[in-house]
Structures are given as structure tokens and as C-alpha cells.
Amino acid sequence: MLLTKTIKTLFLCTLCATAIAADDSTQINDKFTQIKGTIDSINGELSAQRASIGELKADLQHNNDTLKKQIFEELKAIQRQSQYVYDNILAQHDRNGGNMNLKPLRNYDLQTPDGKMIFGEIEYFYVKEADATIEARIDTGASQSSISAQDIKEFERNGKKWLRFKIVHNDRVIEVEAPFVKQTKLRQSSIDGYSYRPIVRLNVKVGDYSTSAEFNLVDRSKMQFALLIGRPLLTDIAVVDVSRKYIQKRADKNGLLIINTDDYVANKKNNINVNEAYDKLQEENKGGQIATVAKDGTESMGTDPKLSLPSVSNKIESEEGKLPSSKVDKKKVQKPKQEPKQKAKNDKAHAKNTKSKLSEKEIAAKELAENYQKSQNAVD
């Protein structure tokens, strides 16, 4: 009987413990559910905030682009008004028979009345990253600008993707490094399909105008021009007159010049090197630093012994067992010191000569005074 009661008591305790455990598990599950709901709510709010920030960025960029365009249009309007006023004043003065010694506000051979540049079919573009001026074909039908590129390699700089490539043209190889922008997909009629090209950003200058523009990379070594300028770079800054060439002045007159293939081949046949002056300068500076005299008087040989100072060259020849060819500097030759007795004798003779010269002057002055006194007495 007692055993039965004990078993019943244990059974009831077990049921109570199970019920309590079930209640605890339910409560924990409920809490997890609540926490999960809170987390989902927070994630939803974060997603909404990200979307709002994205919209704000897009609106800000749009407003910024709109503002830039408005400012640009206003500046062009001011330029047109200034040019109109100037032209009217000049015309009125000419009608009245006058002659105004004024320079025009712009060169109409280089610019339109509204301030846009005039490009010919071919223009010189200086590419900063290549440190070269490249003859470019202006193509208003091209949706992108492109530059010749071979051996394209990817690398990282300051945590960003960059591309290194080579421009092979005119029997020259120019290595260029530029920041990567994106990959582009272009339709090509020659292959009846699409081609994928990387795009980099380059700094170019034509005439007095400098800008940063996007160029896709493609091997143009078999084409006439290593550089092609498309619509995006021309928009709002230039108009094209295909009947003319080389309208804008060359920005870098003394640098490396890459011309079109036909002209290069023709010049090569006639033994003409358009980069003769540039190559000569590069050859002269090939050794590097020319020797100079430092501020403290010490002499630096530099990196090219042939361009070093004569004294340094003589030192090199002496170390090599050769006889220096330079003459002795007479200014640096010290005179031998005189003996004390001889020096005293010379000083005494010098003093005597000085005294005799003074005595002669005193006698002459005395005679002059006596003659003056005699003349005064004769007058009296």
C-alpha cells in the first residue's frame, strides 16, 4: 500500500516536472519568435532606409547634373551675348568710318560663335597617361571612344582595379596604366555579333581644352589610327567639320607623336622621322643626371660619365691610369711664400719709393705757391 502511494507520488511529480519543462520550452520558443519578429522588423526598416538613401543619391546626382547643364547653358548664353555686343560695336564703328584696334574675342577658325570648339576629321590629342600626342580620327557615329591596346593586364592600386596595357603603333611600344571603369558590350558588324571590351578613364588634351574621358580598349595596331574619338567626348564641347583637318593646335609640341599608319609608312620610305628631335633629346638624356657642382662646393659625377664635369672626368682617367687632358687652372695656383728678410727688404724699398714720391709732390706744391705769391705782388 505504501509502495503504491509512493509510486503514485513519483508519477505525479514526474508529470508536474514535465508540465513545467513544457511550459518553459513554450516560453523560450515564444521569446525566440518575438526576437525573430523584431529582427525581421529591423531588417525591413533597414531595407527601406537603404532604398530611401539610394533614391536620395539618384535625385542628388540628377539635380547635380541638371545644375551643371544649366550653368553650362547660362555661360554659353553669356558668351553669345558678349560676342553679339562686341560684333555690333565693331560693325557700328566701321560704318562710321572708324578703325578700332581691338582683337576679336575668339578665333572663328577654331570656335563657333556660341563658344564650341571646331574639330576636323583628324586632330592631335595628347594622352597624359601615355605621355604622347596621338593622331585621332573624329567619328561622330561612334558611341564610344577607343584607344589601341595590347597585352592587357589587371592589377590593384589603392584598393581599386587598374589595367596596364601597351600601345603598339609606328614601330613603338608605349606602356600605359589607367583606372578600370567597367566592361562594355558592343555590337560589331564585322563579326556579326557582340564584343566585350574593358573601359578605362584617360586624361586627354586637345588645343587648350583638357578633360577626362572613357576609352574602351581594343587592338587597333592593324588600323590607321591608334585613337578614335566618339560622340560622348564631343557632346556639348565641339562641332565637326569633316572637310578640314588639324584645326586645333597641338598641345604638346616637343613630345612623342604617333601618326596614322599610311603617313608613317610614307615618311619611313623617304627616311623622314617625325620624332627626330624627340629621339635626339631622349638619347642625350639617356644617361640620366648631368654632373653639377653642389651648393657645398663638392662635385657630383651624375649617372653619365661622358656628361660629367672636366675635373671629374680627369679624376676617372687618373684612376684608370690615364693622363688627364685638362689644363691647369692658373687661378688656383698658389704663389710661393717669400722669406722674412726678403719681405722686409721689399717693404723698405716700397716705403722709400713712396716717400720720394711724396717729397716730389711737396716740392712741386711749394713751387706752385711761391709762383702764385710772386704774381700777386706784381699785381699790387
pLDDT in tens, 225-248: 999 999 999 988 899 998 999 999
Check if CATH label 3.30.160.110 holds for domain 117-276: no
Cα–Cα dist 124/253, whole Å: 10
Closest CA to 294 of 286, 302, 306: 302
Task: Give the HSE-up count for residue 25: Cα atoms under 13 Å, Cβ half-sphere.
Answer: 6
323-350 average pLDDT score: 54
Rounded to whole angstroms, the Cα distance separating 190 from 178 reads: 28
Residue recorded with cell 597617361: 129
pLDDT tens figures, 56-87: 888 888 888 788 777 867 776 676 667 667 67
For residues 216 and 146, the answer to whether their CB atoms sit within 8 Å is yes
Average pLDDT over residues 306-332: 56
**Could you state, in order of their start, the residue ranges of all structural domains in the chain?**
24-105, 117-276, 289-326
State if pTM tops 0.85: no
Q: pLDDT tens digit string along 148-201? A: 999 999 999 999 999 999 999 999 999 999 999 999 887 765 556 677 899 999
